[in-house]
A and B are shown apart, each in its own frame.
Chain A
């Protein structure tokens, strides 16, 4: 098979550059293919504890993912990896939150949260990629 492909350079660079970072698109490398952003919520009842949001997908394999969450009101954290976030509602206490995926679902794990003094609705925004982790 012939060696061919497609390169699109960034402004100010040449497609002939041997540095792939100069290319906006280079068919020698796969790009992340991201499905549309989705949003959801998770209720964290008053009193503290742990909660898991299970988000079904239909890909059949564990996908690459990005997850953001409004852990404190007006403050959006990247919770793609496990994060410890200091709580504005319960000063001196941390919320432990992260995400993971399998072949069926994306999970947003609130591993531990303190007593907020009232129910708290966690807003979540996430992207699933068509690209698989395995």
Chain B
């Protein structure tokens, strides 16, 4: 297969010589692709609707004082996790992202 793709450089940088890390975009690497960005006010489960694997996810928690914290079990007591069907949230006031990208090791 021929070597082809697309690169976009930052203003003032030559797209032909810029390091990969300095590029705005390159088809050489994938980005994280968000499947769902939503909220869950109470603890419980949400179906991630990804079949065949366990997806990557991130969760932030609203602390009631206009601040959002990256969920950290040390602060909240326990942490959310992904299984084959659901994301389980042990805490309330969740603001979560579920990615298309795989989170497990299969």
Enumerate chain A interface residues (CB-CB to B < 8 A). 1, 3, 5-6, 25, 27-37, 39, 41, 59, 61, 66, 68, 70-72, 74-78, 80-86, 94, 96, 123-125, 127, 129-132
Q: Which of A28, A32, A36 contacts B32 (CB 8 A)?
A: A32
Contact between A94 and B30 (Cβ–Cβ < 8 Å)? no
Q: With A27-B25, A39-B105 given, name 17 new contacts (CB 8 A).
A: A1-B11, A1-B12, A6-B25, A28-B24, A29-B24, A30-B10, A33-B20, A33-B28, A68-B103, A71-B81, A76-B54, A77-B79, A78-B80, A82-B72, A83-B73, A84-B74, A124-B105
A76 close to B101 (CB less than 8 A): no
Residue among B54, B57, B102, B104 having the largest count of chain A Cβ atoms under 10 Å:
B104
Q: How far is the CB of B60 from chain A (nearest CB, A)?
A: 11
Q: How far is the CB of B9 from chain A (nearest CB, A)?
A: 9
Chain B residue total in the interface (Cβ 8 A) = 39
> What is the minimal beta-carbon distance from A103 to any residue of chain B, in angstroms?
13
A130 touches B73 (CB 8 A): no
Q: CB-CB < 8 A to A59: which residues of B?
A: 21
15 contacts between A and B (CB under 8 A): A29-B24, A32-B32, A33-B21, A36-B30, A66-B56, A75-B81, A75-B82, A75-B88, A76-B104, A78-B59, A82-B74, A84-B79, A94-B73, A124-B105, A125-B103
Choose from B70, B84, B101 the contact partner of A37 (Cβ within 8 Å).
B101
Given contacts A25-B25, A29-B24, A33-B29, A68 and B10 within 8 Å (CB-CB)? no
Contact assessment for A76 and B72 in the assembled complex, using a CB-CB cutoff below 8 Å: no
Would you give the 0/1 interface string for B74-106, flagging 1 where the beta carbon is closer than 8 Å to chain A? 100111111110001000000000000111110
Chain A to chain B: the 9 pairs with minimum beta-carbon distance, closest first: A84-B73, A33-B29, A39-B105, A84-B74, A75-B81, A68-B103, A123-B105, A27-B8, A76-B82
Complex: how many Å from CA A132 to CA B21? 7
The majority secondary structure among interface residues of chain A is strand
Q: How far is the CA of A123 from the CA of B103 in the complex (A)?
A: 11
A66 in complex: contacting residue of B32, B54, B78, CB < 8 Å: B32
Indicate if B41 sits at the interface (CB-CB under 8 A): no
B43 → A minimal CB distance (Å): 14
Q: Are B20 and A130 in contact (CB under 8 A)?
A: yes
